[in-house]
């Protein structure tokens, strides 16, 4: 098997011209697309419809090129979009392709990709044991299908789970289903948290008896160092994309990750760049930066209202959501090091990396 | 003469407990305070009243301690507050003190401070030749009074000028005074621009025949590399604080500055840290970071909608003002390098540093 | 000819289930749809993509049902969506249908509908004479095609024109085309203003020699009392929908309109309700409110910062755009009178109704 | 006793010129001021400092005029400011004065005012039984001190309670005090809810055995029809202002109130106007509107996401807080009827009026 990754910029959330041209030119075989991850123009909160808009446009393009329905494409391919390109961040999407027939020499590890889906989740499943367990099971399937031998070789697990509006939550209540919270924005947080614990359970980052509903948004010592979870109203299942390394795969790409300890932890970003053979000085030179194929970052506003002992104001702000603040801040730090603004930076890092921090994963071309 | 600088954190915009305690302990003589610069909790736009609130509280504290009226303090001491602590930034204020009786050895240069005020400016003066020229004259006075010998020894000029609401602009119109624009937010930009050209004129960064009203928001090649201008509804004159180096001053502090080329220019930040004897790796170690007494940053969203060839979305955003975006982004980069979040980061860098970039000035304790 | 109008609620901007069911049941013949006007979930400003999303979904539904491409539907049918359902407002869309073969008795006037399009407009055409004149010509075509005999019988002209992002404006500049302003949000205002003057010119509400570029955003005494203009990045031409009364049409519907003098002018709303045989007390009873098929409102924040002598703060607000404020306010007043929240309420009423006010048009079932 | 009420407009939150002039002219005796209620320019959420700013300025003015400290004024006089002048609303404050020596004929009821304070409340008291009971006790004191004989004669009870930032909540947690929620904005809601139940308990609107912590944000059938509660970081106790009618008071003013059933309930507003002898048609004529001395409104976004069966989007909005939406909407409806925009309109009506609705109280000059 052989994985490849292409990144395209987005003029607006319906702009699929980049992928279209690549298919046109023969650079991309639409049938080999297994997943898409991207950053769209919306606010990344409940009422962000740019994620669904791009999902529709891309699935129609791919379906049209393959002669199948957009719906069948969406059933097979996770489209994981996170809204919010605050500050220097640039809207874009990353297309993951797998050639199942390519040979691998077995000598060196290459980027390996697996995808899976949970069954449909209702508003009352969100943040609950059912979401933890269904996610864990789907992650295990994706790891197996990717032929990744050890959990240590998993470097990034992207999950996209459902968000629900007040409409849905009220309907659930009318059907006697109790939701973890009645606040739509907060329910997104419960869903991210439970899904992250599911990833941690599957990869044995935490023991199964800690991957419990009671730990959700409570025991922040329990976390996955490779899970990145987003939620959006445009999906009804947890979609899973696992990215790691395997000798059964060939190809030009590799992947690595690091935990981010807090919102100022620039050292982990430069360390990760060095892990992958880049030379951040502190900025990766433009010529080297071209080796970067995709960057994924999770981050969050520290819950105690401080960073390294000084107050921040993100949690008290009634005008700008804390997620928009922290994405803009951590996104800028990573962009300044990587010399690249087309980064997937997602807020809401509950149980995703250390409390108050997050994680970063980078897919780059191997050094030659 | 001898300058000293103290920085205090702000729990809310009325929190003057830090300065109060320092006066109480005898660390600060209120009569020696010549200027205060700070970052408050508001949005930094027209309807930000946190700047005026802190000005009132600080001037009352200082006046009370000196046995004079708050009003007389405000006439003598510029209080320059910029709203907006986006992302990791921390609300704080920096108190500048001058001891006029201290001796200087004349052997090494030390931090030198001068202040001055323009006459009152009306809404129709903002962005106009009168504001340019009045600012230039006041800057020259401040440089002279600070005993700074060469324009090259000026490292930072903070200007705080008036902002006006729709009320004021309409009243001006009724009095047959034409304003540069009827949009209150945009008028703040005109004022910052004209004031910056005034600084550049005074310091001979541009020839006098380019420091013209016609250049305001038009010829962005004309700029000052040390000017930082804010505007707020709480002042009616341009208040000027000049910080530089002079052999006629003694004391433990020094200052340096660098231009910021664009929003990703982290290298200029680490270069400046190195200029001052710090060792950013890329982060300044915590022990060294304690030498930092104050950091001042100007930045802006690049006008062409891109950064290094990739789109940003700051200028199209109807929910978050571009200044809030860019402060959060550039502020985070500087904070990550300096290991310090109590930074004065101000947006709206028209003619303040290179177009699309800005500048950074740092006051630190001298190496021993 | 015979016109009919159906209104459907929107769960999210991709929710076309209402129209789909109506087509399914045979209530609506998709081939007879001539225009759609609606209110979507976005902010109604430059970065609102919910308008384009719904346009895509509706045009695909209609095209699919007719066996033609969505693109060909969009060329024939104006889809005019305005973002922003502040306060009590409810997302929805109104479908206009025309049966060209229906007979008319010629005895009474009925709702008449005409549509037309201008040629493509570039960023540099926006707010300029070309947009005024092209709009005027298209309005005249639409009036003629609708068989409306007198300008007095025109009660509502909806125009949807192009908005451009910083990207487009910079590209225009690079091609030596000067735009009316470089601010994307402000350019939307120029476009609304010029288009409204175009409507006023076509309907002879102002003499042709006042429908000039020089009057745009300048002479607010020149206005149309039936024009409602929105702008969005999802179109590149001015799309025109004319609604009026004509004896050559039959059907169950009628239309009327009133100017709104200022943001508190509730009397004009109750007067209009009475014009149409409703009995607002001040609220139209629920049973009567069912006769309402569609309501269209334009409004704006008074430019002098006051309403009836008291200050408002809409023009100084850096957190919420003035259009979002005024839509929420005037929308609530109209909703409270009409007992109906599915109203098309659009801000930015430059030259659309009296300065500081706007207009309201209502389509209702005739009294029997 | 004799009560009088004056209303002053606010140019900015430090603008106390109106009261200053009235004192100067002898219209107001500062020693007779017993309470101030107002609407300031901020967002009305946790990070709104305009409330504290105005409190400081007014208490300094009053203290200065009386020759006492501002602090002693704040201990005696409740200053209840609610931020947020969305849409047509106008910033202002209402000064309540009591002349204890004035005679009353005992023939007709007149406006009666009482004030009281609870002991200091900690973050962990908010939303809890202690806040309910302390509020109930203080309300009873205020009613008694005002000489109001029956709970039916109480028409308005304004409560201002403490809000806490993340800082305070974390500090409470560190001191082993559990707060009702860790979210600062949500804690404001808990505080409003418990305080409203306290009012309802004191006035016997609900039985004491329903005024329990368990009912807070849970049993919305338990409510007060005269309670209006705001929260802000600038206070640490619940401040209580009771306004009602009593034969032991004289003076030109009267008060009445009505419940507001939902966000479209304009009929209750016109009914209340008629109760007080005004003639809303639906708008109160300007000449009559001059009789209005103060208007107080509470309102909220309906929890099920609908209004009269149609969806609203206020609870899903990540850009504008639901309170800002609903204040702008209901405020506009009331303003249009009363022909007056200087209204105290406050969101967050938990247990204040019927669920999904709120209440309105009006102080007007008696008919002659």
Q: Which entry of B230, B246, B250, B268 is annotated as an active-site residue?
A: B230
Whole-number Å distance between alpha carbons of C310 and C304: 10
Is there a contact between C11 and A167 if contact means CB atoms under 8 Å apart?
yes
Structure tokens at A22: 């690549």
Task: Give the span between the Cα atoms of B303 and B298, in whole angstroms.
Answer: 15
pLDDT, average across residues D194-222: 97
Q: Chain B residues with CB inside 8 Å of C311's CB?
A: 167
pLDDT of residue C264: 98
Q: How far is B304 from chain C (nearest CA, A)?
A: 6
Cβ–Cβ < 8 Å for A163, A237:
no
pLDDT at D124: 96
Which pLDDT score, from 0 to 100, does residue A196 have? 98
Rounded Cα distance between D330 and D336, Å, is 10
Residues β-bridged to residue B244: B112, B154
pLDDT of residue C256: 98
Query: Which chains does C contact via 3+ CB–CB distances below 8 A?
Result: A, B, D
The pLDDT assigned to D368 comes to 74
Cis peptide before D282 (omega within 30 of 0): yes
Of C338, C104, C147, nearest in space to C244 by CA: C147
Q: What is the pTM of this model?
A: 0.96
Sign of CA dihedral C25, C26, C30, C33: negative
User: How far apart, in whole angstroms, are the C-alpha atoms of residue B87 and residue B146?
Assistant: 35
Compare CB distances from C315 to B48, B166, B305 and report the shortest one's residue: B166
Q: Per-residue pLDDT tens for B193-222?
A: 999 999 999 999 999 999 999 999 999 999
Interface of D with B (CB under 8 A): 11-14, 41-42, 47, 49-50, 52-53, 56-57, 165, 167, 233, 319
Contacts B340 to A, Cβ<8 Å:
310
- For residue C237, give the H/E element and its range: strand C237-246
- Whole-number pLDDT of residue B206: 97
% of chain D with per-residue pLDDT over 70: 100
Q: Could you tell me how many CB contacts below 8 A there are between chain A and chain B?
A: 143
Distance CA C68, CA C52 (A): 19
Per-residue confidence at B34, pLDDT binned at 50, 70, 90?
very high
What is the per-residue pLDDT across A48-100, written as a single tens digit (0 to 9) for each? 999 999 999 999 999 999 999 999 999 999 999 999 999 999 999 999 999 99
Name the strand (E) or helix (H) holding B29: none
- What is the predicted pLDDT for the residue at B107? 87
For an interface test with D, which of A306, A318, A324 has the most D Cβ atoms less than 10 Å from its Cβ? Answer: A318
Answer whether residue A368 shows pLDDT above 80: no
DSSP 8-class letter at C281: S
B313 with A264: Cβ contact below 8 A: no
Residue bearing the bigger pLDDT, B106 or D179: D179
* Residues near A104 by beta carbon (within 8 Å), at least 6 away in sequence: A1, A2, A110, A247, A248, A249, A250
Phi, psi for residue D237 in degrees, rounded to 5: -125, 170
Tens place of pLDDT per residue across chain C (368 aa) = 999 999 999 999 999 999 999 999 999 999 999 999 999 999 999 999 999 999 999 999 999 999 999 999 999 999 999 999 999 999 999 999 999 999 888 889 999 999 999 999 999 999 999 999 999 999 999 999 999 999 999 999 999 999 999 889 999 989 999 999 988 989 999 999 999 999 999 999 999 999 999 999 999 999 999 999 999 888 999 999 999 999 999 999 999 999 999 999 999 999 999 999 999 999 999 999 999 999 999 999 999 999 999 999 999 999 999 999 999 999 999 999 999 999 999 999 999 999 999 999 999 999 87
- CA distance to partner chain D, nearest, from residue C229 (Å): 21
Given a cut of 90, is residue B55 above it in pLDDT? Answer: yes
Cβ-defined contact of C311 to B167 (cutoff 8 Å): yes
The residue among D48, D53, D90, D165 with the most chain B CBs within 10 A of its CB, best to mutate, is: D53
3-class secondary-structure state, position D12: coil
Confidence of residue A114 (pLDDT cuts 50, 70, 90): very high
Report how far Cα C362 is from the mean position of its chain's Cα atoms: 12
For the segment A242-248, the average pLDDT, to the nearest whole number, is: 97
Q: Return the beta strands (E) in A109-249 as ranges.
A: 110-120, 154-162, 227-232, 237-246
Q: Is the ipTM of this complex over 0.90?
A: yes
Q: Give the chain B residue nearest A342 (alpha carbons).
A: B310
A313/B41 touch (CB, cutoff 8 Å), yes or no: yes
Mean pLDDT along residues B335-346 = 98
Q: Cite the active site residues of A.
A: 160, 230
D230 in catalytic set: yes
Mind telling me how many Å the CA of A314 is from chain D's nearest CA? 9
**Could you give the percent of chain B with pLDDT greater than 90?**
94
Q: Would you state the pLDDT for residue D53?
A: 97
D83 DSSP assignment:
E
Query: What domains lie within chain D, and their CATH numbers?
Result: 1-101 (3.30.1330.170), 103-251 (3.30.1330.180), 254-365 (3.30.1330.160)
Asked whether B88 and B332 are in contact (CB, 8 A), the reply is yes
Chain A contact set for C14 (CB, 8 A): 49, 52-53, 56
Nearest to A296 by CA among A359, A243, A347: A359
Question: Is the pLDDT at A104 greater than 90, yes or no?
Answer: no
* Cβ contact B44–C305 (<8 Å): no
Q: How many residues does chain A have?
A: 368
Query: What pLDDT does B163 receive?
Result: 94
* Residue from B335, B289, B336, B342 nearest B93 by CA: B342
| Cβ–Cβ gap D41/B49 under 8 Å | yes
pLDDT-derived band of residue B164, with 50, 70 and 90 as boundaries?
very high
Chain B residues within 8 A of A308 when measuring between CB atoms: 286, 339, 341
pLDDT at residue B167, as a whole number: 87
Inter-chain touch D316–A170, beta carbons under 8 Å: no
Please tell me the distance from the alpha carbon of residue A70 to that of residue C226, in angstroms, as a whole number.
42
Query: Cβ contact (<8 Å) for D85 and C312?
Result: yes
Element (H, E) at B255: strand B253-260
Cβ <8 Å between B56 and D52: no
Catalytic residue among D110, D122, D140, D160: D160
Closest Cα in chain A, distance from residue B182 (Å): 25
Can you give the pLDDT at residue D178? 92
When pLDDT is cut at 50, 70 and 90, the band that residue B119 belongs to is very high
Q: Which of A166, A304, A313 sits opposite D316 (nearest CB)?
A: A166
* Residue B106: pLDDT band with limits 50, 70, 90: confident
Burial of C29 (0-12, 13-18, 19+ CB in 10 A): middle
Of A87, A333, A336, the CB nearest to B326: A87
pLDDT at B217 (0 to 100): 95
Residue B6 has pLDDT above 80, yes or no: yes
Contact D318 A166 (CB under 8 A): no
Q: Do C170 and B44 touch (CB under 8 A)?
A: no
Flag if A14 and C233 touch (Cβ within 8 Å).
Answer: no
Condensed to tens digits (0 to 9), the pLDDT of residues A134-160 reads 999 999 999 999 999 999 999 999 999
C-alpha closest to that of C191 among C239, C225, C260:
C239
Q: Where are the beta strands (DSSP E) in chain A?
A: 2-9, 33-40, 79-83, 92-99, 110-120, 154-162, 227-232, 237-246, 253-260, 292-298, 306-307, 310-311, 344-346, 358-365
- In this predicted model, what pLDDT tens digit does every residue of A157-182 receive, in sequence order? 999 999 999 889 999 989 999 999 98
Q: What is the pLDDT of residue D367?
A: 85
Q: Which two three-digit tokens encode residue C293? A: 């098929």
Q: Do D308 and C9 touch (CB under 8 A)?
A: no
Q: Which of D42, D318, D348 to mutate to test the interface with A (most CBs of A within 10 A)?
A: D318
Chain A contact residues (CB < 8 Å to D): 43-48, 165-167, 170, 182-186, 303-305, 311, 313, 315-319, 321
To probe the interface with D, which of C18, C286, C328, C337 has the most D CB atoms within 10 Å? C328
> Which phi and psi (to 5°) does residue D22 adopt?
-65, -35
Q: How confident is the model at residue D126 (pLDDT cuts 50, 70, 90)?
A: very high
Structure tokens at D356: 């999904």
B105 confidence band (pLDDT: 50, 70, 90): confident
- State yes or no: pLDDT of D205 exceeds 90: yes
Which pLDDT does position D105 carry in this prediction? 84
Q: What is the dihedral of CA D127, D130, D131, D132, to 10 degrees?
A: 90
Return the pLDDT at A107. 87
Residue B115: the pLDDT is 97
Torsion sign over Cα C265, C266, C270, C276:
positive
- Tens of pLDDT, residue by residue over B178-187, are 999 988 989 9
Instruction: Round to whole Å and give the CA distance between A71 and A337.
Output: 39
Smallest CA–CA separation between D350 and chain A, in Å? 15
- State the average pLDDT over residues A254-275: 98
B160 as an active site residue: the answer is: yes
Active site residues of C: 160, 230
Residues in CB range of D259: below 8 A, 6 or more apart: D225, D268, D353, D354, D357, D358, D359
Q: Chain B interface residues facing chain D, Cβ-Cβ under 8 Å?
A: 11-14, 41-42, 47, 49-50, 52-53, 56-57, 165, 167, 233, 319
Alpha helices in chain B (DSSP H): 17-24, 50-66, 70-76, 129-145, 166-174, 184-202, 266-275, 286-289, 322-338
How close is the nearest chain D Cα to the Cα of C271, in Å? 10
Residue found by looking up tokens 């949690």 in the block: A315
Over residues A222-230, the mean pLDDT reads 97
Mutate to test the interface with D, among B11, B45, B47 (most CBs of D within 10 A): B47
Q: Do D49 and B47 touch (CB under 8 A)?
A: no
- Helix-helix angle A322-338:A266-275, to 10 degrees: 40
Which of C13, C53, C167 is nearest residue A11 as measured by Cβ atoms?
Answer: C167
């Amino acid at each position: 098997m052989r994985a490849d990754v292409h990144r395209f910029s987005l003029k607006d959330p319906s702009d699929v011209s980049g992928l279209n041209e690549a298919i046109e030119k023969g650079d991309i075989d639409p049938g080999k697309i297994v997943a898409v991850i991207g950053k769209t123009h919306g606010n990344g909160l409940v009422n962000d419809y740019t994620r669904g808009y791009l999902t529709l446009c891309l699935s129609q393009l791919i379906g049209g090129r393959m002669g199948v329905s957009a719906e069948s494409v969406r059933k097979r391919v996770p489209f994981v979009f996170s809204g919010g390109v605050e500050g220097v961040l640039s809207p874009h999407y990353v297309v993951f392709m797998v050639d199942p027939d390519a040979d691998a020499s077995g000598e060196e590890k290459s980027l390996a990709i697996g995808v899976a889906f949970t069954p449909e989740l209702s508003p009352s499943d969100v943040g609950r044991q059912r979401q933890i367990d269904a996610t864990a099971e789907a992650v295990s399937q994706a790891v197996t299908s990717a032929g990744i031998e050890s959990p240590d070789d998993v470097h990034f697990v992207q999950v996209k789970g459902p968000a629900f509006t007040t409409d849905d939550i009220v309907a659930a209540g009318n059907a006697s289903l109790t939701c973890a919270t009645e606040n739509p924005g907060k329910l997104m947080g419960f869903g991210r948290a439970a899904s992250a614990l599911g990833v941690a359970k599957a990869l044995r980052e935490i023991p199964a008896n800690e991957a419990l509903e009671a730990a959700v948004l409570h025991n922040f010592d329990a976390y996955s160092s490779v899970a990145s979870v987003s939620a959006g109203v445009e999906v009804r299942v947890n979609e899973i994309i696992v990215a790691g390394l395997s000798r059964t795969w060939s190809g030009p790409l590799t992947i690595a990750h690091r935990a981010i300890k807090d919102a100022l932890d620039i050292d982990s970003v430069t360390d990760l760049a060095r892990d992958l053979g880049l030379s951040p000085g502190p900025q990766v030179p433009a010529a080297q930066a071209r080796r970067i194929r995709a960057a994924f970052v999770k981050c969050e506003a520290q819950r105690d209202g401080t960073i390294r002992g000084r107050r921040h104001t993100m949690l008290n702000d009634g005008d700008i959501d804390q997620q928009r603040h922290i994405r803009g801040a951590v996104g800028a730090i990573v962009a300044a090091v990587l010399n690249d603004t087309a980064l997937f930076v997602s807020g809401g890092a509950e149980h995703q990396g250390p409390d108050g921090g997050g994680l970063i994963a980078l897919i780059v071309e191997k050094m030659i």
